[in-house]
Amino acid sequence: MDRISVFMEEESLTCLRILHNWKTGKFGFIATKDWEDVTWRDYNREFTFTTLLSPIEAVGGSELLGMMEDYGLKEHIEHIKELIRAGKHEGIEYFHNGTMGISFVHCMHSSRLAVNNSLHVIRAGGIRRHNPGEDEKEIILDGLNLARAMSYKNAAGDIPVGGSKIVVVSDPIDTGDLDRIGFMAYCLDRTRTLTGPDMGFTPEHADVMGKYTRYVTGGTAGRLGPTGIAAAYGVFLALREAVRFRFGQNSLRGITVAVQGVGALGYALAGHLIKAGADLIIADPDETRIARIKREYRGKNIDVVEPEEIYTVDARVFSPCAVGGVITEDRIKDFNFEIIIGGANNQLSAKSREEEIELSRKLQDEGILFQIDWMHNIGGVLSGWEEFISGENASYETVKRKIEVICGDGTRKNLEMAEREGLTPTEMAYKTVESKIF
């Protein structure tokens, strides 16, 4: 199995950096041994991310590439380079702790927005956990795609940081495992990233991690709490604007919306939709989530289908709110939807801006109105940023007003401009914010 972690463990290395200059196409490689025996629960008490933890040993350039090739990683590294190149990423930082069986991979997209921002953090993006048995190529692809989306999301939200994503590879992490959480806090601070909960990393994890670093938001103990509520509000406003644009009606009454995933974001979105008069078709592999919705909104028009059936149901609107990559070329022809507006990240199955635009055109050719997700699922990011910047003075009302302007008014303007210019809403969105990133 292709795994950088195996190479690093065998060679007693702790950090691998793959750096990329997208303007010149050049790559740089360096690997280091930064620590030996460390009690990670003591992070930011006995030592900080700037503390020398052991005599640093380093290897780089052609020598490092030769070593990885000896482990059969040549094709693997070339594949990762191609992914980085295709998305115009700045690279990845790969921290590995073999003793604890955890890898912390920081996927870096753009940092242009952070130039001279007077902050420690230069990028922002969530933490997502993957199981050790998953394909590392797919894990890194996921992280890079999410990092790229975060650059655009931060730009759309006028947040002065670039985009990144952290993918952690480990067994499930108990909130009482202070060594693993202390280690993640150390890596986070080294990456100069602001983060928050994503799949496999809960608000409760953020609460504990927040005792080690101030660069994590979205915990239950935070001033604004979990970010799913704010994110769902933005998606609801965008969906309502899309319905108004396509169908010419201000109300959602009589509109059937298929919601894929009723976790934190999907559950909150479902509440908004039901209160606005929409009928729902929902799907989620977690039966407890389904039961919660049915119990909470007893007597409302809510149909439940199996997860794979959600793509072919008869609904005017589809709202993906779970995993990414669900809009594939093969599925588009089977869709019965007229609008797709959802809260999931990276809904298009693509690895670059160009591939996303191609899929968005195929959707438009099928008569489906679609807007790229980073234009409207940014409520959580706005909430996390407000909590980080304002601390105890953070206000949800401040966040709510920003969401209404960016996700509601912004969606309406984007749809109208796209129509005037003969572009898909996704192309229009890229055209609007891209100059802020590159």
Cα torsion angle, 70, 76, 81, 82, sign: positive
> Is 137 a known active-site residue?
no
Region 228-377+407-436: CATH code:
3.40.50.720
Count CB atoms within 10 A of the CB of residue 297: 16
% of the chain with per-residue pLDDT over 70:
100
User: In this model, does residue 2 exceed pLDDT 80?
Assistant: no
Q: By C-alpha distance, which of 187, 167, 172, 176 is closest to 38?
A: 187
d(CA 100, CA 39): 11
Contact 235, 404 (CB under 8 A): no
The pLDDT tens digits for 346-397 are: 999 998 999 999 999 999 999 999 999 999 999 999 999 999 999 999 999 9
Tell me which DSSP letter residue 195 carries: B
Cβ neighbors of 290 (< 8 A, separation 6 or more) are 262, 282, 284, 304
Report residue 104 as tokens.
Answer: 């912390």
What per-residue confidence (pLDDT) applies to 222?
85
Report residue 53 as tokens.
Answer: 């933890």
What per-residue confidence (pLDDT) applies to 438?
87
The pLDDT tens digits for 153-203 are: 999 999 999 999 999 999 999 999 999 999 999 999 999 999 999 989 999
The one-letter code for the residue type at 112 is: R
The domain at 4-209 falls in which architecture?
A: 3-Layer(aba) Sandwich (3.40)
Domains 4-209 and 228-377+407-436 share a fold: yes
Q: Which helix (H) or strand (E) holds 384?
A: helix 379-390
SS3 assignment, position 76: helix
Query: Could you state, in order of their start, the residue ranges of all structural domains in the chain?
Result: 4-209, 228-377+407-436
d(CA 408, CA 255): 19
d(CA 347, CA 374): 10
For 48-60, give the DSSP string: -TTS--S--EEEE
Range 87-96 average pLDDT = 97
User: In this model, does residue 1 exceed pLDDT 80?
Assistant: no
User: In this model, does residue 247 exceed pLDDT 60?
Assistant: yes
Count CB atoms within 10 A of the CB of residue 329: 14
The one-letter code for the residue type at 349 is: S
Chain-centroid distance of CA 330 in Å reads 24
Catalytic residue among 153, 165, 351, 402: 165
Contact 81, 27 (CB under 8 A): yes
What per-residue confidence (pLDDT) applies to 234?
98
